[in-house]
Structure 1
Amino acid sequence: MSELIEPIATVTFSDVTNEAFLAIGMRNYWDGYFAGRAAPLGLAPAEVVHAVFYNFADGEVARHIPRVWGKTTPEEAIAVRERGSADALRQRIGELSDSPGLVQVADLATRAAVSAPTEGRVLYAGLRALDIPEEPVARLWHATTLLREHRGDGHNIALVAHGIGGTEAHVLMALALGMRAEQFGRIHHLPKAQLTAVVDGLRDRGLVDAAGGFTDAGRETKQRIEALTDQLAAPAYDVLSADELDDLIAGLEPIATAAEASDD
């Protein structure tokens, strides 16, 4: 399910949505990113957004929050993000946007998306408080975003449970993808001394070896985190029968494939 909802939900980070945010006064991509994604939290200070988003380096959120709220409001940011994301999804999936099957998929995804537990899931709970779009393409994007952020909140819980901080999580992801930490896009920009200190800390804990790769303990820790993330995400789909879940998977597959192919 994660592989199917990811390419649909993440159209929100595309050029189409970015241009919509630039049009209302955002300076750059990251202004729009933080305004749109943090908007369900209201006028939360940077410290709160940093805690909820979890894996941004110290100071990165504060470069955008609260500055963006001098250019827009959370309510406007929510509307711009929804409108831009729906437009982006329509462009990527083409004629599938008007197919009868999309309505069924949007309805099934929405049922799952509004049924998951909110306890401990701050960003998901904020999204759950928003109105559900009526238009099917926007509703599908909204549902997959709810499911993605529910999973993301659960992933943060798993990271905390295993004592893995935000930047450390990116290092483990880089190693899982077969690259060194300094090559990974989300952290390659960090000062060398800062990133080295994070890797050294993981090495001291026996998770990274002398060459900067996984130890067996590091690989096992990453696998346990992913398994717990899956486990915590699963209750969202309990509301669907086995047949309905099969229908949801079958309906999402061509949409996700089209969205991903267009992104590539």
Structure 2
Amino acid sequence: MTTSTSSPQAEALPPRAGRRCHNVLNSLHATHYFCPEVGEELGALGVSDPRAVNFAIRAAALGAVGPGTVAATFFNYKYELIARHVPAVWQVAAPQDVLAARLRGVDRTLRRILGDEVVASPEMAEAAHLALRATEACSRSGRPLYAAHADLPVPEEPHLAYWHAATLLREHRGDGHLVALMDAGLDGIEALVTHTATGKGMTPKWVFGTRGWAQEDWDAAEERLRARGVLDEEGELTEAGVALRQRIELATDRLDLAPYEHLGAAGVERLTELGTAFVGAALQAGAFPADLLGKKSASK
């Protein structure tokens, strides 16, 4: 991907327009974490543990890195879980083979949940064009996961080009989001606890199952956050906690503004409209677990 600056003549974006656009793009990107096809493709390479699959498909763009790099770039996973699978996974499947298998799995996933008609539609080609145009203004500096994925070739087929662009925009925002979290003084699990407390993050059940944390880790993080006045005794965000999460999201918006300014207000609106339709179809197809998001703990 090339890097360019936003046009000075670009129409000003409405508040949070970039965030809304990112949210639908990210949702489409995220389908491959929950659908079986990518796991099947990695299984054919000999990587069968779901956690190893998760680390491999997202870290492969970085090369055969060790657990420290994965912990730094993924931010909210427990290091001991990462070290259990990385770098051992690269002895089973080389990063370039993982990337190829991931793309095959994404192709199968999108064809199943969207249907061949949508995959081959003019709307998909339009969405790919718009999303790729937005990535032209992304910056590699200080954004390791984005930069690694930006070095990958753009797939030729529009639905895969759209997914690739969505991945770039997701990682670009995600890298900036980590800066905002650290500036707010949150560590990995504290970030998860406060996000879950908003009702928009993963449930503790999914945090424990995918990030490697245990209930005692969660409880200790809650205690630290109570001491800071971020959570109340019931584990809900206090007024200060709500304000903290709002500041984090606004800071993330600022750090992620360039691609959406570059695309322009009309382009962002259209890309959001197209992406919303795709995500709606994915939801209808059951692409996401019903208990993925919310506040309820599996043990409380």
Taking only aligned residues, the RMSD between alpha carbons, in angstroms, comes to 1.9
Which residue among 64, 81, 101 is the counterpart of 1:60? 81
Q: TM-score, normalised by structure 2?
A: 0.82
Count of equivalent residues: 263
The residue aligned with 1:23 is 44
The residue aligned with 1:205 is 228
Question: Which residue type is aligned with residue 83 of structure 2?
Answer: A
User: Contact between 2:32 and 2:38, CA under 8 Å: does it hold in 1?
Assistant: yes
- Distance between the aligned counterparts of 2:46 and 2:130, measured in 1? 36
- Distance between the aligned counterparts of 1:254 and 1:77, measured in 2? 29
- Distance between the aligned counterparts of 2:134 and 2:81, measured in 1? 33
The residue aligned with 2:29 is 9
Question: Which residue type is aligned with residue 110 of structure 2?
Answer: L
The residue aligned with 2:106 is 85
Residues 65-90 of structure 1 show CA distances to partners (whole Å, capped at 9, x for unaligned) of: 11110111111111111121122012
1:62-77 aligned at under 5 Å gives the runs 62-77=83-98
- Distance between the aligned counterparts of 2:256 and 2:159, measured in 1? 23
Q: TM-score, normalised by structure 1?
A: 0.93
The alpha carbon displacement at 1:184 in A equals: 4.6
The alpha carbon displacement at 1:229 in A equals: 1.5
The alpha carbon displacement at 1:43 in A equals: 1.4
- Distance between the aligned counterparts of 1:118 and 1:132, measured in 2? 16
- Distance between the aligned counterparts of 2:136 and 2:162, measured in 1? 12
User: Contact between 1:109 and 1:143, CA under 8 Å: does it hold in 2?
Assistant: yes
Which residue among 271, 274, 277 is the counterpart of 1:254? 277
User: Contact between 1:7 and 1:260, CA under 8 Å: does it hold in 2?
Assistant: no
The alpha carbon displacement at 1:182 in A equals: 8.0
- Distance between the aligned counterparts of 1:261 and 1:233, measured in 2? 30
Which residue among 235, 243, 246 is the counterpart of 1:223? 246
Structure 2: give runs of 5+ residues left out of the alignment: 1-20, 289-300
Q: Report the CA distance shift for 1:178/1:138 in structure 2 as closer, same or farther (over 3 A).
A: closer
User: Contact between 2:24 and 2:279, CA under 8 Å: does it hold in 1?
Assistant: yes
* Bigger mean CA offset, 123-132 vs 20-29: 20-29
1:134-173 aligned at under 5 Å gives the runs 134-173=156-195
- Distance between the aligned counterparts of 2:121 and 2:70, measured in 1? 38
Residues 138-173 of structure 1 show CA distances to partners (whole Å, capped at 9, x for unaligned) of: 111111111111111111111011011110011001
State the structure with bigger RCO (CA 8 A, min sep 6), 1 or 2: 2
User: Contact between 2:67 and 2:79, CA under 8 Å: does it hold in 1?
Assistant: no
- Distance between the aligned counterparts of 2:81 and 2:161, measured in 1? 31
The alpha carbon displacement at 1:9 in A equals: 0.5
Question: Which residue type is aligned with residue 90 of structure 2?
Answer: W
- Distance between the aligned counterparts of 1:41 and 1:246, measured in 2? 32
Name the structure where helix makes up a greater proportion of residues.
Answer: 1
